[in-house]
Amino acid sequence: MEQIYTYLPGILLAYSAFLLGVLSPGPNVLVVIDTSMSVSRKAGISLALGVATGSFTWAMLTDLGLSAVLAIYAAAIAVGKIVGGLYLFWLAYKAFKSAASAHDVKARTLDGETRFPFGYALRGYIIQMTNPKAALTWIAIIALGLQPGAPLWVAVVIVTGTFLLSIVIHVLYAVAFSTPIMVSLYGKARRYIQATLGAFFAFAGFKLLTSRS
């Protein structure tokens, strides 16, 4: 019991840092929202689960010593930035293409007939895994939550807890933005929404490719 009280503040601090990160509207959240509105709730939830699985993967890699690897091999971060930046540009292109079309190209080409739930989950996983910010965020989370010499169960609690939080929050995004009122809003303002998303993805990709840290 004494061990729990010793490490509980660090665990709660790690959870708080994770919640702040996952609640901020980054590319992962916006893609979940966009997919839920433009395709379907099922597609949005599948993509949300892929994002959550990517978050879990980063957590595991960080626990296994990724922070030390990234500290020694800065090239790993550079490669991640290039891949992530180019992928964000691809998302921007798809959004701008949908905005320029008289019909929702994205919904037609990414619906359930051409892309199975696994395809959406894989897309969410790729988005999360090609984001170097996610790796750096996890390094900070683990540093906050794990004290030197902490037992293994502390890391397990942090990784498992944040994984469950990631699933719940991203699925809530998918469900909330697939409601009739949100789908109706998307139908009326599709071009503006897609153009805004395209601008955001392009800006995020540019910042990622040109950032020095």
Of 113 and 94, the structure prediction assigns the larger pLDDT to: 94
Taking the mean position of all CA atoms in its chain, how far away is CA 107? Answer: 21
Judge whether residue 50 has pLDDT over 90: yes
The residues near 99 (Cβ < 8 Å, ≥ 6 apart) are 190, 191, 192, 194, 195, 198
Q: Mean pLDDT for the chain? A: 78
Judge whether residue 35 has pLDDT over 70: yes
Average of per-residue pLDDT across 51-67: 83
116 φ/ψ angles, rounded to the nearest 5 degrees: -80, 165
Judge whether residue 78 has pLDDT over 90: no
Share of residues in the chain with pLDDT > 70 (%) = 80
Average of per-residue pLDDT across 21-31: 76
pLDDT confidence of 108, banded at 50, 70, 90?
A: very low
Q: Which amino acid is at 41?
A: R
pLDDT of residue 72: 57
Average of per-residue pLDDT across 35-40: 86
Of 114 and 195, the structure prediction assigns the larger pLDDT to: 195
pLDDT of residue 68: 61
The residues near 30 (Cβ < 8 Å, ≥ 6 apart) are 197, 200, 201
Judge whether residue 171 has pLDDT over 70: yes
CA distances from 119 to 54, 87, 112, 122 (A): 14, 16, 10, 5
List, as one string, the DSSP characters of 57-85. Answer: HHHHHIIIIIHHHHHH-HHHHHHHHHHHH
Judge whether residue 113 has pLDDT over 50: no
Judge whether residue 17 has pLDDT over 70: yes
pLDDT of residue 14: 87
Locate 210 and state its tokens: 């040109």
200 φ/ψ angles, rounded to the nearest 5 degrees: -65, -45
pLDDT (tens digit, 9 = 90+) per residue, 132-159? 777 777 877 777 777 767 788 888 899 8
Judge whether residue 120 has pLDDT over 80: yes
DSSP letter for 63, please.
I
The residues near 124 (Cβ < 8 Å, ≥ 6 apart) are 28, 31, 32, 46, 47, 48, 49, 50, 51, 52, 53, 54
Cα–Cα dist 128/28, whole Å:
7
Judge whether residue 178 has pLDDT over 60: yes
pLDDT of residue 207: 78
Judge whether residue 22 has pLDDT over 80: no
